[in-house]
Amino acid sequence: MREAAESGAVRDGAGRREPFGTGPGPAATQGGSAGRGAPLDGLRVVDFTRVFSGPFATQLLAALGAEVVKVERPDGGDEARDYGNRPDPASPGPPFLAMNHTKKSVAVDLKDPAGRAVARRLIDTADVLVENFRPGVMDRLGLGYDEVAVGNPALVYCSITGFGGTGPLANRAANDLSVQALSGLLSMTGEPDRPPVRTPAPLGDLMAGMFAAVGVLAALREREQSGAGQHVATSMFEAQLNTLNYFYVDYWLNGTVPRPMGTANGLGLPNQAFRTSDGWVCVTSSNERAWRRLCTALDIPECAEDPRFATLRDRYAHRPELVAALSEATGRLSTADCVARLDAAGVSNSPVRDLPEAAAEPQLQAVDAVLTVPVEGLGDVRLVAAPLHFSASSRPTATPPPALGADTGSVLAGLGYAPAEIADLVAAGTVRADGSVDADGSGGTPSGTGTSGP
């Protein structure tokens, strides 16, 4: 078991673990001013997740200062290690790099009773557990909430599933594309009368991870009052539904069935991408004043006086004619000229950029959106930082994504395993320690250090 100073927990006179946040932490002893660390300093998160949704949730918690211990299978670990372009086959691909930095890796065979015993001992030291297996898997492993809460009643246990823990789809295999399809999102993407177009960003995965992190933080806040943990659950399907919330309301209320509209939508008009002489520009007019400014900026005063376009409702009724008139106007201009005119007129707009152009945007540096970590075999790797900034709390130092089992030895030693016990577990294949196990029980490849960032 970790000492209280290391884990962020305090213990009562009988040595029982009290939840993080109930004892006199740094804010209480220092008045909450000088020396304030990251918001989740001292919190231990045991991460039984893989691929995208769960790793994104725990990445957010790591960005807030929590110690995240990622539990992986010894034979290959999280399969996302192999996803994407990999210039160095020995190094993980971009998806794993993006969602697993500033974490530790412990490789444990959960099918082995001895491995499950390791996991249970680790869970007993945790403030938070996050898992994204199918419903019932953790229960079958003896690691379900009801069982582990007996030994650690202060544990906040978060489950992310594909479709929820109950119902006809509960045990259905899920991935982001299937969730986009079943939620109705794919029915409204792309161009009219063309095949569905998926959103390249895995929205269901990432939104589920974000909701999971929010749920964990809420349960931790409640634990400060009750002293007890609880089970938090969310799903990719429910998260995707929340991205479509007003579409569902419109359907239930008015019977509206949304259809593909390209970059347009059924709200403001214009509100879509228009071709320029050398690219594309997105233009939005949210009210009548903006519409008139738009017409002036594009030298089409006749459109401002056209009764077909006088009000938003009129523009809805004459959408094809309006789009044709604006397309002709923007097509005469370069993207840069179009943007300059619209900016000067105070009309919301943006050029459509490819990723190299977007990555070169100075705003990324201005808001500290990029952090850099050294990764063996890849050199300095740039990553997208969590978009969280605090006026008083510090940011944790980002570290490279860990090699598989890089921290097994040191974490097990912290759990009280003797060096000989760790060596026996390694020899039996129960755990994998990527590197030597030293005499003090530590081992593994150092994670290295990186730049500060959320």
Radius of gyration of the chain measured on its C-alpha atoms? 26
In which region does residue 345 sit, left (phi positive, over 0), alpha (psi from -120 to 50) or beta (all else)?
alpha
Token pair recorded at residue 256: 């509206």
CATH class of 4-242+370-432: alpha beta
CATH architecture of 271-352: 2-Layer Sandwich (3.30)
For 178-181, the CB contacts below 8 A with 24+ separation are 179/204, 179/236, 179/237, 179/240, 180/204, 180/240
Token pair recorded at residue 102: 């500033």
In sequence order, which residues have a C-beta less than 8 Å from that of residue 324 and are 6 or more positions away? none
For the chain, the domains span 4-242+370-432, 271-352
Which of 206, 156, 166, 163 minimizes the C-alpha distance to 181?
A: 163
Token pair recorded at residue 384: 């997208």
Active site residue 343: no
In sequence order, which residues have a C-beta less than 8 Å from that of residue 32 and are 6 or more positions away? none
The DSSP bridge partners found for residue 351 are 281
In sequence order, which residues have a C-beta less than 8 Å from that of residue 257 and are 6 or more positions away? 251
The DSSP bridge partners found for residue 371 are 383
How many CB atoms lie under 10 A from the CB of residue 210? 17
pTM of the prediction?
Answer: 0.86
Which of 58, 66, 147, 73 minimizes the C-alpha distance to 108?
A: 73
Token pair recorded at residue 240: 């995707």
- Catalytic option among 205, 306, 354, 424: 205
Q: How far apart are alpha carbons 338 and 3 in whole angstroms?
A: 62
The DSSP bridge partners found for residue 137 are none
**Per residue of the chain (454 residues), what is the pLDDT tens digit?**
333 333 334 433 333 344 444 333 333 333 333 468 999 999 999 999 999 999 999 999 999 999 999 999 999 999 999 999 988 888 899 999 999 999 999 999 999 999 999 999 999 999 999 999 999 999 999 999 999 999 999 999 999 999 999 999 999 999 999 999 999 999 999 999 999 999 999 999 999 999 999 999 999 999 999 999 999 999 999 999 999 999 999 999 999 999 999 999 888 899 999 999 999 999 999 889 999 999 999 999 999 999 999 999 999 999 999 999 999 999 999 999 999 999 999 999 999 999 999 999 999 999 999 999 999 989 999 999 999 999 999 989 999 999 999 999 999 999 999 999 999 999 999 999 985 444 344 444 333 333 333 3
Token pair recorded at residue 322: 């309006």
Q: How far apart are alpha carbons 115 and 158 in whole angstroms?
A: 21
| Phi, psi dihedrals of residue 207, rounded to the nearest 5° | -65, -40
**b/e per residue 5-28 (b: at least 16 CB within 10 A):** eebbbbeeeeeebebbbeeebeee
